[in-house]
Structure formats: C-alpha cells, structure tokens
Amino acid sequence: MSKRMIERTTVRLPTELLARAKRKAAAEGRTVTSLIEEGLRLVIASNGKQSREKHNNPPVSEASGGLMPGLGWDDLSILEEAEDLEQLDLIERSE
C-alpha cells in the first residue's frame, strides 16, 4: 500500500457555490474536500478533450415570455443545482 501525500491549501469559492457544495456533500454523506478532489480529477483527466458547454439561459415560459414558474432572476440556484445534478449523472454514465 503506497503512502499518499496530503497537502493543505486555501481555496476561495463564491459563497453560493460553497453552500451548494456543502448541501451536496451532506446529501451524499461525504466531505466538500472529496467533492473538490473528484472535480479536479475529472477536469485533469479530461485533458481538454471536452469543450466547456456554453451556459444556457434559464427556460422561458412560452405563455408569458418570462421565467418558468418557480424560477426568479435573483436566485437561479435551483436551476444551477439541477444542472449540477444533470452533469453529475452524465459523468457517472460515461464512466
């Protein structure tokens, strides 16, 4: 069994992103550190093979032309969280 070096560092993240990461980690019974580690490993492993998808605008209601019910321009975290879960599902399927 090889000994793994662990280093400590400071990472600055947007408040909302960190809050979402904490919720996701808690829901999965893991640490935020493990989420960050997994994300970094995925990015490094992709080695630029996957281009970043363009950010999609939130879904617009055809009836009123505004945002779909339940979404607001001031808090799109629900949509972002849904996109995160969808992306995680795609990653898990590709493994």
Q: What angle do CA 76, 54, 93 make, to 5 degrees?
A: 85
No. of helices (H) and no. of strands (E), the chain: 3, 0
Q: Structural domain boundaries of the chain?
A: 15-47+64-94
Question: For the chain, how big is the Rg over CA atoms in Å?
Answer: 17
Q: What string of pLDDT tens digits covers the 95 residues of the chain?
A: 456 788 888 888 888 899 999 999 999 999 999 999 999 888 888 865 555 555 566 665 556 666 666 666 666 676 777 777 777 777 777 76
3-state SS, residue 13: coil
Full-model pTM: 0.47
For residue 20, give every residue at least 6 positions away whose Cβ sits within 8 Å of its Cβ, in sequence order, or none: 77, 80, 81, 84
